């Protein structure tokens, strides 16, 4: 069993984070489906009281209201802000008509941070995330602006979200050779219903020393246990009513999760979260809640350790179809170089297309 205060080191850094991070996209009712400021504060307080130390928000969450709710919470609790890892994101343009109101150019990067700091009522953020890939901004410009912000003491660490693996790898390589602040962490959508990051993103992060924080580990609620075959979409919130229902392939995975949950005697959400947390590349999993009860259900996943048999029961029906060259690198690729020898405890047969090892030209 893992506890919320069983901290882990984030990537190749000295920053320690909880195994579950509190995402605050649900903070604020501005979109018609989130939590009120009072409920949000209760969720924050319970998460922190249990030992959690990562609070994740973004400038675009409820149009900045999420950041304000978080900032107001810490402003009334002197000294607590220093005890947490506070993170926010930039990229989204909150100023219609202003081409420099968002994106990842130097002007936009700095001005968005200043606005976030004002809403968060703090002098710095611990982790500043690029929220998306700006194809129009040179990566060197973005990285240098972020390095300047680290030097100025306004941010502590740099993260990237929702970017292709080659963009993250390019960024990390440039930062390394320029001596700039490195990419410490990566946010990706990852769950039993979204495993395609296993093709490029997760191996890249592991190889480059980047910590991984999956978002939407319940796939927008599809893995929460609320969806039942022939039962329609849950109507517990306006947001759920606007989402599309599961596909037949989704149902196969949802049913597998439900079977393992019934076997253990817990909810489907706990199983789905426990599976994500068990993945070797994952440092901390982002969870969200609209009520303290939902938060407690998510935190209960820390008490679950899945057996090898249960991991197989979940993994087989959710195995993704990955882009080229995933099949080659996972299968025949290593056989080309092993020559039938045992390397690092792995033994593979001789490449079958080697017709005659004695006939070499």
The residues that are catalytic are: 61
81's tokens? 């802000």
- Residues 202-230 as b or e (16 or more Cβ within 10 Å = b): bebbeebebbbbbbbbbbebbbbbbbeee
**DSSP secondary structure, 100-124, as one string:** TSSSSSHHHHHHHHHHHHHHHTSS-
- Cβ pair 108, 94 in contact under 8 A: no
CA-angle at 26, arms to 36 and 287, nearest 5°: 130
**How many alpha carbons lie under 13 Å from residue 297 in its C-beta half-sphere?**
20
- Cβ pair 32, 6 in contact under 8 A: no
**How many alpha carbons lie under 13 Å from residue 67 in its C-beta half-sphere?**
22
The 8-class DSSP code of residue 2 comes to -
- Cβ pair 269, 261 in contact under 8 A: no
Phi/psi of residue 39, nearest 5 degrees: -65, -40
Specify the residue for token string 């296993």. 198
Three-state DSSP state, 17: strand
Three-state DSSP state, 156: strand
Give the integer Cα–Cα distance in Å for 361 and 346.
Answer: 29
Give the integer Cα–Cα distance in Å for 263 and 257.
Answer: 10
Give the integer Cα–Cα distance in Å for 197 and 40.
Answer: 31
Give the integer Cα–Cα distance in Å for 266 and 162.
Answer: 31
């Amino acid at each position: 069993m893992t506890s919320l205060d069983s901290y882990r080191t984030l990537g190749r850094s000295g920053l320690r984070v909880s195994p579950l991070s509190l995402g605050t996209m649900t903070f604020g009712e501005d979109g018609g489906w989130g939590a009120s400021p009072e409920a949000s504060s209760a969720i924050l307080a319970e998460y922190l009281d249990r030992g959690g130390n990562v609070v994740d928000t973004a400038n675009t969450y409820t149009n900045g209201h999420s950041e304000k709710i978080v900032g107001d919470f810490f402003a009334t609790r002197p000294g607590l802000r220093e005890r947490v890892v506070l993170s926010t994101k930039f990229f989204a343009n909150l100023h219609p008509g202003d081409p420099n109101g968002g994106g990842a150019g130097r002007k936009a990067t700095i001005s968005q941070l200043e606005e976030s700091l004002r809403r968060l009522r703090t002098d710095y953020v611990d982790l500043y995330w690029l929220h998306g890939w700006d194809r129009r901004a040179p990566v060197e410009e973005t990285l240098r602006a972020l390095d300047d912000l680290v030097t100025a003491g306004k941010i502590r660490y740099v993260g990237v979200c929702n970017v292709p693996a080659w963009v993250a790898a390019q960024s990390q390589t440039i930062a390394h050779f320029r001596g700039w602040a490195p990419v410490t962490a990566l946010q990706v959508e990852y769950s039993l219903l979204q495993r395609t990051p296993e093709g490029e993103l997760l191996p890249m992060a592991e190889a480059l020393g980047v910590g991984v924080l999956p978002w939407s580990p319940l796939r927008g609620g599809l893995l929460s246990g609320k969806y039942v075959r022939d039962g329609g979409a849950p109507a517990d919130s306006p947001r759920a009513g606007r989402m599309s229902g599961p596909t037949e392939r989704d149902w196969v995975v949802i049913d597998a999760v439900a079977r393992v949950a019934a076997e253990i005697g817990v909810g489907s959400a706990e199983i789905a979260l426990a599976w994500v947390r068990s993945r070797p590349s994952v440092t901390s999993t982002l969870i969200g809640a609209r009520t303290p009860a939902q938060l407690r259900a998510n935190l209960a996943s820390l008490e679950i350790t899945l057996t090898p048999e249960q991991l197989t029961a979940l993994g087989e029906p959710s195995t993704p179809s990955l882009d080229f060259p995933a099949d080659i690198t996972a299968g025949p690729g290593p056989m080309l170089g092993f020559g039938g020898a045992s390397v690092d405890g792995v033994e593979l047969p001789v490449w079958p297309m080697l017709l005659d090892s004695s006939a070499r030209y």
